[in-house]
Amino acid sequence: MHTKILVIDDDRELCELLRDYLGAEGFTVEAAHDGEEGAQRALQGPWGLIVLDVMLPKLNGFDVLRRIRSGNETPVLMLTARGDEIDRIVGLEMGADDYLPKPFNPRELVARLRAIQRRAASAALAVPAPESLLAGDILLDPGTRSVSRAGVKIDVTSVEFSVLEVLLRMAGTVISREELCLQALGRRLSYQDRSIDVHVSSLRKKLGPAEGGGERIKSVRGIGYLYASPSPESRRRR
């Protein structure tokens, strides 16, 4: 699978390393070294993937991501400082598809990029008339990849949609963090990876409390999550 990648990072040595390493993996890599240039080139596209550092001159990574998301849905993987969980949470809530703390193993980067590719490919190959899922006042439509509560649209990111779809299809059943990560993000859960928890937390805020009060998505200590509403009914789109 040949993919054109834009790396936005002011570390020129790292960009060269990624150009060589990812090139050997079949990717075509171009680089931008500040936020302004990166935002402009990202919107000019087309790109298969964007690797975006948080700490950038002229325009920080969050502002770059905001500009990207205002113009297109190109998958974005953010590079964050190790241990800086706030950056990861903010990036994911703003629409980043995944993150990777620096310093990182290039093999891990390739694995994350491949997972994003598989998820994007699966979404693109959705059947022409997929069944919508209705759970209480929540309606999830795989065809338009939209979510609504009591008829009011809720803005969710592409990854949040995938997480919610898995949870709804498993409603009433506990699903482990590992399995949720594998089904929704397309990759295995790695050590100290909290991305799936960030997505669930964001969904809780956006969905609000259940119709009768209480949490829609419950944490099951030491295991994973449970969508607590009754099992959703499936219905054909009209």
pLDDT, tens digit, 9 for 90 and up, residues 83-142: 677 887 888 888 898 888 888 999 999 999 998 888 777 665 554 546 888 888 999 998
- pLDDT one-digit tens code per residue, 45-81: 789 999 999 999 999 999 999 999 987 889 999 998 7
Per-residue pLDDT at 226: 94
- pLDDT one-digit tens code per residue, 4-42: 999 999 999 999 999 999 999 999 999 999 999 999 999
Candidate CATH numbers 3.40.50.720, 1.10.10.10, 2.40.128.130, 3.30.70.260; the one for domain 131-236: 1.10.10.10
The three-state (H, E, C) secondary structure of 99-129, written as one string: EEEECCCHHHHHHHHHHHHHHHHHHHCCCCC
State the alpha helices, DSSP H only, in the chain: 12-24, 35-44, 61-71, 85-93, 106-124, 158-169, 177-185, 195-207
Report the alpha-carbon distance of residue 47 to residue 28 in Å, rounded: 10
Q: Where are the domains of the chain?
A: 3-124, 131-236
Report the alpha-carbon distance of residue 211 to residue 12 in Å, rounded: 52
Beta bridge partners of 76: 50
> What confidence category does residue 193 fall into, taking pLDDT thresholds of 50, 70 and 90?
confident
- What pTM did the predictor assign? 0.71
The three-state (H, E, C) secondary structure of 22-56, written as one string: HHHCCEEEEEECCHHHHHHHHHHCCCCEEEEECCC
| CATH code linked to domain 3-124 | 3.40.50.2300
